[in-house]
Amino acid sequence: MPTRPQAAAKPKPTPRRTVGTTSTNRLSEVVDQKSPRTILLAVSGMSPAILTETVWALAKEKPPVIPDDVVVITTTKGASDISAQLLAERSEWGGVSPWSALRRAILGAKAESDPRLQFSAPRVIELPDAKRGIKHPADDLRTPADNAAAADFLLEEVRRLTENPDTHVVASIAGGRKTMGALLYAAMSLLGRETDRLTHVLVSDPYEQCRDFFSPGQLVKEIATRDGRKLRAADARIDLADIPFVPLRNLFERDLSRRPGSFAALVAEASKQIALAPPKKVRILTDQPKISIDGTEVRFSPREHVLVLLLARECVEGRPPYPDHPRAHASYQQLADKLRAKADSGNFRDWHSDIPKNSDSEDIRKMVSSIREKLKAAGPDGRVLEKSLVSRGCLGFQSGTAFVCG
């Protein structure tokens, strides 16, 4: 099998564990603190304490996960509550805000010079105004149109963060209206990556009902419940639950010539691509230049068959698609020469003697076009495999296609 340059290895992820004792099974892994920037992305409503609780829980993991930036998507009411409850200085806290106190508790004596835990200005969802033609900040999300606009807003924020290879996103669905959490979950499923996380924070009762509770390590050590009972903040238990999600972008990303801009369009496109699942079995025959797709046979020219064989082996061995046609041609030429030499020596299949000796990257393009046409003409099974053949900007079969050679 010919070889080609491999992509740079990704940093090895570092194991994590759940805060508390309810679960020791981690559903994902986090990249090392020295690697990509960690971004906490959250939706928030009228209970901004979920932000400090989530940060505290992350910092108590082993190894600790300390976000570099905190990005919050909310409404005008939510932004107002964040400012008043979380970021404003409090006299009873000695002139320190709950957020500043949290940074000191987590980052220690050098908190004021540590660049981590930077709270970005809240991203307030904007709603269209058909009458005036001027978008306005959302006070609340109640109508289907409001939720559609919020979905697009959330999608763009998730897209902005996940398209940056130097970021690791921890998304929290604990705050805001339930629809906001559901939309964030959907956006992460569509655009999130394997290294990203989706979480929900759980606070023991009755601390979750205490308006002045922000974390077990807060400055004000004693808080009161609604019925007047006194509690020690340090006794609160915070569990961070990882919510599993399927990074659907891996199923359809390479087939999209243009990533749809709206939430609804992306859902529709992803659904269409998922419906075109790879065939159950594709047998690459070696005694003659043809393949069998779930029993449907497709015949190729000798050189087309060599290209299909090359791409099938790359897929089986878990290699990524070739980044361009010239590099695919280099590997194709190596394999073609090898098969032709064996056939000429009488040690391999006779039909390989018919493989042309000279070719270039433009021939690869022509072969791909011919292969596509033959697969389409083979009927439903062939058309499904044709959809699995990626050739725009790169060249290869989608992972998951069940190839068998022989």
Burial call 182-218: b when 16+ CB within 10 Å, e when fewer: ebbbbbbbbbbeebbbbbbbbbeeebbebebbbbbbb
Indicate if 296 and 357 belong to the same structural domain: yes
Per the prediction, the chain carries an average pLDDT of: 82
DSSP per position, 331-351 = HHHHHHHHHHHHHHTTSS-GG
* Chain segment 257-295, per-residue pLDDT in tens: 445 567 777 777 666 655 555 556 888 887 788 899 888
Residues 1-17, mean pLDDT to the nearest whole number: 43
Do 267 and 389 sit in the same domain of this protein? no
Residue 343: inside a domain:
yes
- Answer yes or no: do 167 and 296 share one domain: no
- 23 assigned to some structural domain: no
Q: What is the CATH number of the domain that holds 386?
A: 1.10.10
Q: Does some domain include residue 29? A: no
Q: For a pLDDT cut of 70, what percent of the chain falls above it?
A: 83
* Residue where one domain finishes, among candidates 246, 271, 296: 271
Mark which of 225, 251, 271 sits at the end of a domain.
271
The more confidently predicted of residues 3 and 116 is 116
User: 């900007």: which residue's tokens?
Assistant: 393
- Section 317-322 average pLDDT: 86
Residues 319, 218 share a domain: no
Residues 248 and 366 in one domain: no
Say if residue 182's pLDDT is above 70.
Answer: yes
pLDDT tens-digit series, residues 187-230: 998 889 888 999 999 998 888 878 889 999 988 888 888 877 88
- 177 shares a domain with 53: yes
Parent domain of 282: 277-405
Amino acid identity, position 384: V
In a domain, 393, yes or no: yes
- 63, 97: one domain: yes
Domain count along the chain: 2
My answer on whether 173 and 290 are in the same domain is no
Q: Domain check: are 350 and 385 in the same one? A: yes
Measuring CA to CA, which residue among 327, 325, 320, 336 is closest to residue 397?
320
| Residue 224 CA: distances (Å) to CA of 60, 206, 235 | 25, 10, 13
Summarised one tens digit per residue, pLDDT across range 339-374 is 888 776 665 556 767 777 778 888 899 999 999 999
Residue 16 lies in a domain: no
- Do residue 246 and residue 374 come from a single domain? no
What is the distance between the alpha carbons of residues 198 and 370, in angstroms, rounded to a whole number?
43
Verify that 179 and 124 share a domain, yes or no. yes
- CATH number of the domain within which 141 lies: 3.40.50.10770
The length of the chain, given as a count of residues: 406
Whether 6 maps to a domain, the answer reads no
DSSP string, 152-207: HHHHHHHHHHHT-TTEEEEEE-SSS-HHHHHHHHHHHHHH--TT-EEEEEEE-TTG
Across 72-94, average pLDDT: 93
Q: Are residues 285 and 266 in the same domain?
A: no
pTM of the prediction? 0.59
